[in-house]
Amino acid sequence: MKTICFREPTNENIAAAAKIIRKGGLLGIPTETVYGLGANALNEQAVYNIFAAKGRPQDNPLIIHVPDASWLSRYCENVPGCAYQLAEEFWPGPLTIILPRKDIVPLRTTGGLPSVGVRCPDHPITLAIIREADVPIAAPSGNTSGRPSPTSAGDMLEDMDGKIDAIFDGGPCRVGVESSIIDLTCQPPRLLRAGGLPLEELTRVLGEVIVDKCITQQMSAAEKPKAPGMKYRHYAPKAPVTVVTGASEESARYIAAQAKPGMGVICFHEYTAQFPGCTVHDLGPQNDKAEQARRVFDAMREFDHESVTQIFAQCPDPEGLGLAIGNRLKKAAGFHVVEL
């Protein structure tokens, strides 16, 4: 299959992309978080093709993307007031809400679950495509399973060129980590994935929020994860990764003492000159978590093209976006963390 790349957000291109969705095709969609691999969420065969193109296990559910909160009641049962409150505050934006599914949403889409994850992405091109297609777009991240999430159209084509009908290039992703996922089917609500919307924002609206264990620690083989996706191996560079937490000056000093030529280091911008002989990737300024979120997947992905024996990574504190950035780094490290 030859993959078309739409670049200009013209009405013709939006209509052509929407037609691909309506006809059951696969479309790479730009969002503010990461690029998605989209298809008509109500078409079982199209959804099956998403799983096939990614090599994704069938029980790992997809998020469905809608243009606004009025679509919640089309696809979800018993929508509580707090869901609308969250949508009012944070949509379009990096927040996925889990609610009971209506039968119109195929079990294929929800990985067999009675619930469905819904999000309204903050990207004008994708919102226009969904409205034009008039169906929700099911879209997991646009990478091959086990690879890092793509934050540009070029990243996504590395994995998907020739496997999808088209991709719409909407520029680099503004957020760079996936959406935060909040489960509203339980009380108190539970954070299943730390992402682009900080936990503090969710607690401000919802009050108490339980943070699922899978965000901060390794799941043992016997535990049944609340978020089905969490049991699958996450992206990790080929070399073993060690995450070092604590004040950034101390973690830099610790890493400098361990580092030897041939090793890899992911560090804050301020410390890039302190690891001579190492391959160093800049995570961004230590006080700019938004920039760190945009860079974290790239910083890890680049090690795929370089041979390093071992990787050390500095890690921001868990406030705000730090929870999501730290989670992505720690998952890549198999939760091998040195706490200073």
In the complex, minimum distance from the CB of residue 142 to ligand AMP, in angstroms, rounded to a whole number: 9
User: Of residues 184-243, which lie at the interface with Mg ion (CB under 5 A)?
Assistant: none
Told to check if 117 binds ligand AMP by CB under 6 A, we report yes
Q: Which two tokens stand for residue 93?
A: 């934006």
Q: Which is nearer to ligand AMP, 147 or 289 (CB)?
A: 147
| Backbone CA torsion sign across 320, 83, 91, 115 | positive
User: Of residues 260-299, which lie at the interface with ligand AMP (CB under 6 A)?
Assistant: none
User: Of residues 17-56, which lie at the interface with ligand AMP (CB under 6 A)?
Assistant: none
- Coil, helix or strand at residue 51: helix
Q: Which two tokens stand for residue 205?
A: 């609206």
CA 40 from centroid of its chain's CA atoms: 20
Tell me which of 3, 4, 19, 60 binds ligand AMP, using CB under 6 A: 60
Closest-by-Cβ residue to ligand AMP is 229
In the complex, minimum distance from the CB of residue 320 to Mg ion, in angstroms, rounded to a whole number: 22
User: Of residues 205-224, which lie at the interface with ligand AMP (CB under 6 A)?
Assistant: none
216 touches, from Mg ion, ligand AMP, none (C-beta below 5 to 8 Å by class):
none
Residues 6+ apart with CB under 8 A from 278: 259, 260, 261, 262, 263, 264, 265, 308
Per CB under 5 A, the segment of 11-19, 97-105, 137-145, 251-259 that binds Mg ion is 137-145
Q: Which is nearer to Mg ion, 141 or 152 (CB)?
A: 141
Helix (H) or strand (E) holding 286: none
CB-CB contact of 140 with 169 (8 Å): no
Reply yes or no: is the peptide bond before residue 188 cis, omega within 30 of 0. yes
Q: For the window 163-202, what string marks contact with ligand AMP as x by the rule CB under 6 A?
A: ---------------x--x----------x----------
Beginning with the edge strand found earlier in the chain, give each strand of the sheet holding 210-211 in spatial order. Answer: 4-6, 166-168, 27-29, 36-40, 137-138, 63-65, 115-119, 95-100, 180-183, 190-193, 210-211
Tell me which of 109, 141, 185, 251 binds Mg ion, using CB under 5 A: 141
